[in-house]
Amino acid sequence: MPAHRRLRRIYALEDFEPAARRHLPAPIFGYVAGAAETNASYDDNRRAFAEIGFVPRVGVDVSGRSLACDVMGQAFDLPFGIAPMGVSALTAYRGDLVLARAAGQARIPMIVSAASLIPLEEITAANPEVWYQAYLPQHLAEIEALLARVARAGVETLVVTLDSAVVPSRENNLRTGYRTPLRPDLALFWQGITHPRWALGTFLRTFLRHGTPHFENATATRGAPLLSRRAVRDFSGREFLSWDLLAEVRRMWKGHLVLKGILHPDDVTRAAHLGAEGVILSNHGGRQLDGAVSPLRVLTAARRCAPDLPMMLDGGVLRGTDILKALALGARFVFVGRPFNYAASIAGEAGVAHAIDLLRRQLMADLGMLGLTDLAQLDRSVLLCEGFREV
């Protein structure tokens, strides 16, 4: 079925999820959609946005609206980007390239995951402006080699994820049957039969054209194959992470450094003192510590701790109104994950471009209905936060 036909009934980002659920095998969909334990953090990410209302102004000429923004000296056409997502090439054919190309066309950032399956060099060839997200190796020599490779690929913004130091309890993966390493057994064979478009268009097409996928970008060299037990060891936690180690990374890395996965205001202060150019407030989409608060709830406190440090966030963003609420509370930028993964899975690059355009149109309409013409005009005066629980 042509991509445009698969998008006919996609009117908002929420519509991608049920379409992806039908398209993807249950274990693969469950891996993307699932969160940790009781989904408490996942649910709070959405609930936090729902607790805030708007107080719009009227009688304002809003015919000249603009969504352009600037983050860390980089100009973007829209105030959102694509969050890092592992094994995206398992949900969509050449998924990382699909996301990178769509982001480049829209002039927004895309963060390449360390758990991606396509070499970073191929991705930067498709979009030289991508950012790279690292799960740091343990030893300084390995870190230095990785950062040298990232720099050679032309990446200017390094994102270090801090909230995955310990492996979480994701019993949802056990319930849906997702395993690492991926096992080509009868259960997977049955999923292929019952999801033929994914099996033929993504899974078999990948193996026939490119061989067994590997985790290409976690270290300075090619990582473990997707079907290898070594993949578990390579992504089994980062308990050794410390601020001392991050100081060494800051010393080694000459480009922009962004720290992702911060929620405590004191850690925002430490990030500023370390010399980071930005932070991404995040609870990993609800996939790590179950019960960790929504990033939106700590945004005001984080801004007080480091008013000059660009604050970004992810988690629960589905609509233009969500983005405007975050910006009005002091965020400079937001990132969106799962919906772009779903969009790529059902319609490739056209699906991701459609998702970006949906958010663009919502933002343009919502900004005008607020009585504003520029994102810089957003502040708490346009919000009603009486019922909003902040840290």
Given the structure tokens 């107080």, which residue do they identify? 55
CA–CA distance, 386 with 363 (Å, rounded to integer) = 24
Sign of the torsion angle spanned by Cα atoms 359, 79, 32, 147: positive
CA angle 162, 166, 167 (to 5 degrees): 120
84 is in an annotated binding site: yes
DSSP string, 201-233: IIIIHHHHHH-S-B--SSSSS---BTT-THHHH
342 is in an annotated binding site: no
Q: Chunked in runs of 10, what are the mean pLDDT values of the chain (391 residues)? A: 82 98 94 94 98 98 97 97 96 98 98 97 98 95 98 98 88 80 73 91 95 94 80 68 96 98 98 98 96 98 97 98 98 98 97 98 98 97 95 89
Pairing of strands 111-112, 131-134: parallel
- CATH fold, domain 13-59+74-227+241-376, is TIM Barrel (3.20.20)
113 is in an annotated binding site: yes
CA–CA distance, 263 with 277 (Å, rounded to integer) = 17
Domain ranges of the chain: 13-59+74-227+241-376
The pLDDT of residue 48 is 98
Catalytic positions, written as ranges? 284
CA distances 249 to 83, 225, 240, 310, Å, are 21, 27, 14, 19
The pLDDT of residue 2 is 65
The pLDDT of residue 165 is 87
210 is in an annotated binding site: no
Pairing of strands 74-76, 69-71: antiparallel
Asked, as a colleague might, if the bond just before 181 is cis with ω within 30 of 0, I would say yes
User: What's the burial of 272, exposed, middle or buried (CB within 10 Å: 0-12/13-18/19+)?
Assistant: middle
178 is in an annotated binding site: no
Contact 80, 334 (CB under 8 A): yes
Identify the three-state secondary structure at position 378: coil
DSSP 293: P
Asked, as a colleague might, if the bond just before 137 is cis with ω within 30 of 0, I would say no
In 3D, which of 330, 378, 386, 360 has the Cα closest to residue 108?
Answer: 360
Residue 144 contacts by C-beta under 8 Å, 6 or more apart in sequence?
252
Residue 72 contacts by C-beta under 8 Å, 6 or more apart in sequence?
157, 256, 258, 277, 278, 310
Neighbours of 241 (CB within 10 A): 19
264 is in an annotated binding site: no
132 is in an annotated binding site: no
